[in-house]
Structure 1
Amino acid sequence: MTEASQRALVGLRDPHTLQWYVIPLLAIVFYAYAQEVRRARRSGDWNVVLAGLTIFGMDFVNESINGWILVLSGRSALWTAPGPTALRTMVGWNIEIMFMFALSGLIYANTLSPRRDGRVLGIPEAWFWAAAYSAFCVIVELFLNRGGLLIWDYAFWDGTPAGVWLIFLLGYFHFYVAALLVMAARRMRTKLIAIGVIYAVAIVLDVVGLGVLGWTY
């Protein structure tokens, strides 16, 4: 197992690492969702809230799969986050990342025009901003990697021109695609089923991996 993977397993889900700054960050997330819920009650449009839940759920799935990769490879996950954190929830996930993704869907949905039918540079705005935000996230990840906070240990998943495309597509872009598809669904029932399936996949992966099989990731 790589050195970064071993470090990422230290203090995993240890509440003794918690810091006070988690409290205001949690309050910010709650406030953001409370504001969107209030707007949705007035307008009847719940897409912003649903986009937020979708992107967080997609990240939950990604991080669970990443943990499985660590265990099954016996070497490393695709990415690990061994740096300082207030709470490392999985080898590649921490409380700070979770707060960021909890807000990402709200940010994305609020970037779109009210009817969500606009275009940017001739591209449907939902797809344009999905690509733009994914690219921005990759740039941030490159800096985190340079700082030793986020580690890559596979040649096909790194900051090279070849590897960065996989990070873009499988690390972020499909999150936003899932959100735009949920928002585009006509019926609320369809939207809720889609989100439910996303969370169900993550929960099953972790119940089986962490619970039944007793893995650590």
Structure 2
Amino acid sequence: MSPTSQHSLSVLRDGSQMGWHMIPLLLLVIYAYAREADQGNWSRVLAALAFWAMDWLNEIMNGLVFHFTQFAPIWGIGHPSSYLIFMGLNLEIAFNFALMGLVATMLLPKDPGMKILGVNNRLLFAVVNAALCVMVELALHHWGMLVWEWPWWGAAFPLPILLFGYLPFFLVGYWVYDMPCRKRQVKVVAALYSLVFCLAAGGIGLGWI
């Protein structure tokens, strides 16, 4: 087991790692969603929730990689860190992705069929935003805030981070955002969170994540 993983395991879901800064961060997330809901931007709210659900699924998978290898998650958190929900997820990261889904849809052109340089704007924005996220991850890794222990995931191989770490988040978020039927949006989001809840409850209950 890697040293970073040993430390993360020792503080996993340890309440003593909580800090007062979590309260204003939580309020900021609530405010952002409440503001969009108040303005009737329900497609944005549901798309952001779908985006966030994809991150939770990724983090559960990451925790399972650690459990079954007993070496390291694909990505870990450099310490010191705040409250760890899963091996690669602390509260600040969770709040960050909750907001990122909202921002991601604010950048989109109104017309989902419009092309930019011959490419559908949804696909182009998904790829560009995912690439920007990878660049941020590279910086966080350089500063020791993110830890990569596996040779096939890191600065030398950024493509897996883009394809599996971020691109699905944006594609699913934009897919939900453009759905013409509100009922279908709600069903997709509900299905995603049902899967998150079942995997998280089962994984924690079995001591796997």
Equivalent AA in structure 2 for residue 181 of structure 1? W
Partner in structure 2 of residue 193 of structure 1:
187
Q: Select between 30-39 and 125-134 the one with higher mean Cα deviation.
A: 125-134
Q: Deviations over 1:195-214 (max 9, x none)?
A: 12211222221222111x22
Q: Identity across aligned pairs (percent)?
A: 33
2:142 is the alignment partner of 1:143:
no
Q: 1:105 aligns with which of 65, 84, 101?
A: 101
Partner in structure 1 of residue 84 of structure 2:
88
The Cα of 1:179 is off from its aligned counterpart by 0.8
Contact 2:112 2:178 in 1 (8 A): no
**CA–CA distance in 1 between the matches of 2:135 and 2:26?**
25
Partner in structure 2 of residue 120 of structure 1:
116
Normalising by structure 1, report the TM-score.
0.90
Contact 1:86 1:95 in 2 (8 A): yes
The Cα of 1:119 is off from its aligned counterpart by 3.4
Equivalent AA in structure 1 for residue 37 of structure 2? V
The Cα of 1:191 is off from its aligned counterpart by 1.3
Partner in structure 1 of residue 30 of structure 2:
30
Q: 1:152 aligns with which of 148, 167, 173?
A: 148
Contact 2:126 2:167 in 1 (8 A): yes
Contact 1:48 1:109 in 2 (8 A): yes
Contact 1:7 1:82 in 2 (8 A): no
Q: 1:168 aligns with which of 162, 165, 185?
A: 162
2:162 is the alignment partner of 1:179:
no
**CA–CA distance in 1 between the matches of 2:76 and 2:86?**
9
Contact 1:83 1:150 in 2 (8 A): no
**CA–CA distance in 1 between the matches of 2:30 and 2:203?**
30
CA RMSD in angstroms comes to: 1.5
The Cα of 1:147 is off from its aligned counterpart by 1.4
Could you tell me which runs of 5 or more consecutive residues in structure 2 were left unpaired when the two chains were aligned: none
Q: Number of matched residues?
A: 209
Equivalent AA in structure 2 for residue 214 of structure 1? G
Match of 2:11, SS state, is: coil
Report 1:74-85 matches (<5 A).
74-85=70-81
Match of 2:140, SS state, is: helix
**CA–CA distance in 2 between the matches of 1:82 and 1:21?**
19
**CA–CA distance in 1 between the matches of 2:61 and 2:207?**
15
The Cα of 1:128 is off from its aligned counterpart by 1.6
Match of 1:96, SS state, is: helix
Could you tell me which runs of 5 or more consecutive residues in structure 1 were left unpaired when the two chains were aligned: none
Match of 1:19, SS state, is: coil
Partner in structure 2 of residue 12 of structure 1:
12
**CA–CA distance in 1 between the matches of 2:124 and 2:80?**
34
Q: 1:57 aligns with which of 53, 65, 79?
A: 53
